């Protein structure tokens, strides 16, 4: 199907940048916002790597993108953020193959996974959205820092991280669906802000985006028919995945500083076209304690941060 004419026109007017010769890795690129991000970066002429846990879904996404962008470079790599061994295999493969990386969009995430755990025993939402992304980033950071050009890393957070409580390490994995999800995204925001500070003088540019409220399998799977019915009825209230995915293009074509947050511009960031958003105050608190705690949790589960 490809991108809508409206999106193409927005890109033409707002993103005067060519990504020709640049390689963009996107996690969770077989679905929702990740798939549309791949589509948009292809439109800007990037070479795209779909980094997915399910190789069948990845191959089907690759086929669709190649059909809509004939001649474009679209490849796939395997990564399951909910399994440390998979994260280690992925980072080793990147290094062994000398894969070029100009852009990394850490988009993969989950919501509402009651009672489920990662392969290493963490609650699945925290384990995927925060701990898995943290582990991946720490494993590949030394490699990215050795590349002879700028590397932009975009971590996907959420507007709900504004309502999350400061992480209480005694109850780190506890709470209802929304509380755990919001905490996982707040932790990712805190980590991103701290990493942006630590890498300020390097060629890494680390930022955040959020997709507002977007109709994708993420929420649909959680609330099934009720959400699908509501979403169908109030379609205009939600951002389309295509519109939400424009944040990456905005970041890559504007002078957005490290640590910034980009997302939809209307209704408290719920929907609209991308622009720089206000940073949640809590994203600048407790970074050192959080990182120390996370490193200990990863070591306790057998992970190795270089
Ligand atoms: N939709 C919203 O309103 C909204 C709001 C705020 C933030 N977000 C964030 O936006 C990002 C994209 O979500 P979406 O709405 O586009 O949902 P989605 O369509 O469900 O996409 C999520 C992607 O993440 C992948 N994924 C899940 N667990 C993974 C793992 N362990 N390892 C590797 N990949 C994994 C999924 O793979 P499979 O296809 O194999 O499941 C899928 O490709 C997420 O980080 C989400 O938290 C979404």
Q: Measured in angstroms, how far is the CA atom of residue 109 from the centroid of ligand 1?
A: 4
Q: How many CB atoms lie within 10 A of CB 204?
A: 20
Protein residue whose Cα sits closest to atom 19 of ligand 1: 32
- Tell me the HSE value of 53 on the side-chain side, using a 13 A CA sphere: 15
* pLDDT above 80 for 221: no
CB neighbour class for 284 (10 Å; exposed up to 12, middle 13-18, buried from 19):
middle
Cβ partners under 8 Å of residue 7, min gap 6: 40, 242, 243, 246
Mean pLDDT, rounded, of the chain: 93
Q: Measured in angstroms, how far is the CA atom of residue 140 from the centroid of ligand 1?
A: 21
Separation CA 246–CA 35 (nearest Å)? 12
Considering the segment(s) 5-299 as one domain, its CATH architecture is: 3-Layer(aba) Sandwich (3.40)
240 lines ligand 1 (CB under 6 A): no
DSSP at 2: -
Compute the average pLDDT of residues 198-217. 92
Of 2 and 29, more confident = 29
Separation CA 303–CA 289 (nearest Å)? 19
* pLDDT above 70 for 236: no
Pick from 305, 243, 293: which is nearest to 272 by CA?
Answer: 243
Separation CA 259–CA 206 (nearest Å)? 6
97 pLDDT band (50/70/90 cuts)?
A: very high
Predicted pLDDT at 223: 62
Of 202 and 215, more confident = 202
pLDDT in tens, 33-79: 999 999 999 999 999 999 999 999 999 999 999 999 999 999 999 99
Separation CA 303–CA 306 (nearest Å)? 10
- Tell me the HSE value of 93 on the side-chain side, using a 13 A CA sphere: 12
263 lines ligand 1 (CB under 6 A): no
Report how far Cα 145 is from the mean position of its chain's Cα atoms: 19
Phi, psi (5° rounding) for residue 28? 60, 45
Compute the average pLDDT of residues 173-202. 95
Query: Which stretches of 118-263 are DSSP H helices?
Result: 124-125, 133-146, 177-198, 217-233, 241-244, 246-253
Report domain extents, the chain: 5-299
* pLDDT above 70 for 222: no
Q: Give pTM, 2 decimals.
A: 0.96
118 lines ligand 1 (CB under 6 A): no
Predicted pLDDT at 79: 98
Protein residue whose Cα sits closest to atom 40 of ligand 1: 54
Active site residues: 181
* pLDDT above 90 for 213: no
Separation CA 207–CA 184 (nearest Å)? 17
109 lines ligand 1 (CB under 6 A): yes
């Amino acid at each position: 199907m490809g991108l809508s004419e409206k999106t193409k026109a927005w890109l033409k007017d707002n993103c005067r940048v060519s990504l020709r010769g640049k390689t963009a890795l996107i996690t969770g690129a077989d679905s929702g916002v990740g798939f549309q991000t791949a589509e948009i970066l292809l439109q800007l002429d990037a070479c795209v790597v779909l980094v997915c846990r399910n190789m069948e879904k990845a191959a089907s996404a690759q086929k669709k993108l190649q059909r809509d962008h004939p001649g474009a470079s679209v490849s796939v790599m395997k990564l399951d953020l909910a399994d440390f061994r998979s994260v280690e295999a992925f980072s080793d493969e990147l290094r062994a193959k000398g894969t070029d990386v100009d852009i990394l969009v850490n988009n993969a995430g989950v919501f509402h996974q009651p009672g489920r755990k990662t392969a290493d025993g963490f609650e699945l939402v925290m384990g995927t959205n925060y701990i898995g992304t943290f582990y991946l980033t720490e494993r590949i950071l030394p490699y990215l820092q050795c590349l002879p050009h700028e590397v932009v890393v975009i971590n996907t957070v959420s507007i709900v991280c504004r309502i999350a409580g400061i992480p209480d390490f005694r109850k780190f994995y506890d709470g209802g669906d929304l509380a755990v999800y919001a905490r996982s995204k707040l932790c990712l925001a805190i980590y991103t802000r701290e990493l942006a500070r630590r890498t300020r003088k390097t060629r890494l540019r680390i930022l955040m985006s959020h997709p507002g409220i977007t109709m994708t399998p993420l929420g649909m799977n959680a609330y099934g028919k009720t959400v699908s019915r509501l979403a169908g009825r109030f379609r205009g209230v939600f951002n389309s995945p295509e519109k939400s995915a424009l944040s990456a293009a905005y970041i890559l074509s504007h002078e957005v500083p490290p640590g910034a947050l980009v997302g939809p511009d209307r209704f408290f960031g719920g929907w609209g076209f991308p622009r720089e958003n206000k940073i949640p105050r809590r994203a600048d608190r407790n970074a050192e304690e959080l990182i120390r705690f996370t490193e200990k949790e990863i070591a306790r589960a057998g992970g190795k941060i270089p």
